[in-house]
């Protein structure tokens, strides 16, 4: 056999081997697709064991079970946004910020706002910040037996946590952690253009809906990156259907993304008009319950965490905060992640959680 014939036969064999590999993978993906179609529509989420220790209207306060000794004297209260489910902070075992902190020995509480009904359309940030959060704080101190607490807010929840800290300087708030938290709305990317009062009549929206639908809000967020949000996830899923670990992660994340809740109309009116359109918080013009939200009243230890790849909350919306507060112990931590990747996914556990634990543990004993 000539060298040319041997090369041609070797090339033919390699092609056959590659075709076999491709066929076997295609077969596995087809089997995986059939198994995927049979899965329950709602994957298991929020699995870290917990108890409901207090309720008010639709809101619930969870306390997570300890794993071993609670090493830190200062408990943690999570405050999340009004328009998404808070289980993004406890997405799945091994992919959970709550689980991580519990394992580090913290006493962890989470305020779940629940799903508002039409009867809640009149709720405002005044109610959430001046009534719900203070009552939850009292329960955290009561059940933990602690004299002070740490408050962790994420996204809109961070904005509310900021307002709470500014309006309650007498509270035993030891640490304030703000994750991807907007406080300055002067430059909010595409949202600034879309929500410009010249084009967007928020009063008309609220008066029409009363309770602003979850799909209405979700559509606006997804339009920031339409290809990435509407096409890429499913293309990636089809390409990796034979990777069981990836599929499990994809399922729980996709479930959360499409599991939004409606926005109480009056709170939505404030969110758009007072913050996005008039930028009252950073200007010192925001008032809740007739009281001025003065950021200079914040004197506790503060950690502001920004996600460098965040397209929901621009980095420039978070960074001005430290210049307006009175805390002597205040710093900003920048993480290379997106808005959701900051708190969920493999990179969150590697890039953010250890740094958060180091900062909190030094201030929780």
Strand order of the sheet with strand 149-154? 50-56, 59-64, 108-112, 76-79, 149-154, 173-179, 301-307, 330-335
Please check the confidence at residue 223 and state whether its pLDDT lies above 90. Answer: no
Q: Virtual CA dihedral for 237, 242, 246, 252, nearest 10 degrees?
A: 70
pTM here is: 0.86
Q: Report strand pairing: 287-288 vs 50-56.
A: unpaired
Query: Residue 77 corresponds to which tokens in the numbers above?
Result: 């209260």
Q: Which residues pair with 292 in a beta bridge?
A: 287
Question: Do 217 and 263 meet the contact criterion of CB atoms below 8 Å apart?
Answer: yes
Max CA-CA distance within the chain? 94
Strand partners, 302: 176, 330
Runs of H (alpha helix) within the chain: 3-37, 97-103, 125-127, 133-144, 156-167, 190-194, 202-209, 214-222, 226-230, 232-239, 244-257, 265-270, 280-283, 315-318, 346-351, 353-361
Among 50-64, 120-134, 200-214, 321-335, name the one with the lowest average pLDDT: 200-214
- In this structure, what token pair is assigned to residue 132? 């719900």
The band of 191, judged by pLDDT with boundaries at 50, 70 and 90, is confident
Q: 10 Å Cβ neighbour count for 109?
A: 26
Residues 6 or more apart whose CB falls under 8 angstroms from that of 137 comprise 77, 149, 151, 171
Q: State residue 32's pLDDT score.
A: 56
pLDDT at 18: 66
Tell me which H or E stretch contains 56: strand 50-56
Cα(351)–Cα(334) distance, integer angstroms:
10
**Mean pLDDT estimate for the chain:** 89
Q: Which tokens sit at 75? A: 């408990």
Residue pair 160/79 in contact (Cβ under 8 Å)? The answer is yes
Quick one: pLDDT band at residue 248, thresholds 50, 70, 90?
confident
Residues with active-site annotation: 155, 310, 339
Residues 101-138 have pLDDT tens digits of 999 999 999 999 999 999 999 999 999 999 999 999 99
Can you tell me the mean pLDDT for 138-148? Answer: 98
- Give dist(CA 187, CA 285) in Å, integer: 18
CA distances from 148 to 300, 304, 349 (A): 11, 20, 27
Q: Is the pLDDT of residue 231 over 80?
A: no
Q: What is the pLDDT of residues 22-64, one digit of tens each?
A: 656 555 655 555 555 555 556 788 899 999 999 999 999 999 9
In whole angstroms, what is the distance from residue 340 CA to residue 337 CA? 8
């Amino acid at each position: 056999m000539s060298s040319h014939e041997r090369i041609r036969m070797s090339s033919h064999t390699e092609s056959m081997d590659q075709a076999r590999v491709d066929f076997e993978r295609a077969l596995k993906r087809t089997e995986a697709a059939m198994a995927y179609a049979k899965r329950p529509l709602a994957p298991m989420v929020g699995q870290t064991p917990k108890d409901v220790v207090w309720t008010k209207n639709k809101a619930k306060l969870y306390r997570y079970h300890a794993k071993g000794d609670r090493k830190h004297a200062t408990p943690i209260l999570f405050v999340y946004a009004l328009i998404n489910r808070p289980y993004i902070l406890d997405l799945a075992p091994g992919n959970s910020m709550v689980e991580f902190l519990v394992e580090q020995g913290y006493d962890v509480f989470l305020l779940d706002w629940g799903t508002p009904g039409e009867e809640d359309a009149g709720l405002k940030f005044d109610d959430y910040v001046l009534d719900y959060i203070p009552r939850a704080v009292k329960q955290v101190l009561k059940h933990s037996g602690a004299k002070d607490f740490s408050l962790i807010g994420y996204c809109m929840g961070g904005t509310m946590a900021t307002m709470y800290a500014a309006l309650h300087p007498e509270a035993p708030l030891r640490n304030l952690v703000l994750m991807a938290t907007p406080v300055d709305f002067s430059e909010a990317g595409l949202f600034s253009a879309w929500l410009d009062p010249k084009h967007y009549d928020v009063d008309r929206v609220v008066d029409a809906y009363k309770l602003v639908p979850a799909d209405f809000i979700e559509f606006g967020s997804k339009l920031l990156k339409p290809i990435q949000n509407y096409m890429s996830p499913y293309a990636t899923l089809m390409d990796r259907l034979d990777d069981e670990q990836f599929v499990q992660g994809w399922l729980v994340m996709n479930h959360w993304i499409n599991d939004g809740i409606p926005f109480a109309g009056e709170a939505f009116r404030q969110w758009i008009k007072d913050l996005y359109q008039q930028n009252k918080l950073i200007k010192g013009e925001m008032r809740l319950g007739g009281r001025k939200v003065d950021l200079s009243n914040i004197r506790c230890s503060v950690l502001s965490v920004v996600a460098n790849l965040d397209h929901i909350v621009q980095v420039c919306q978070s960074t001005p905060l430290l210049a307006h507060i009175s805390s002597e112990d205040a710093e900003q931590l920048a993480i290379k992640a997106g808005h959701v990747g900051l708190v969920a996914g493999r990179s969150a556990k590697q890039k953010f959680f250890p740094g958060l634990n180091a900062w909190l543990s030094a201030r929780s004993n």
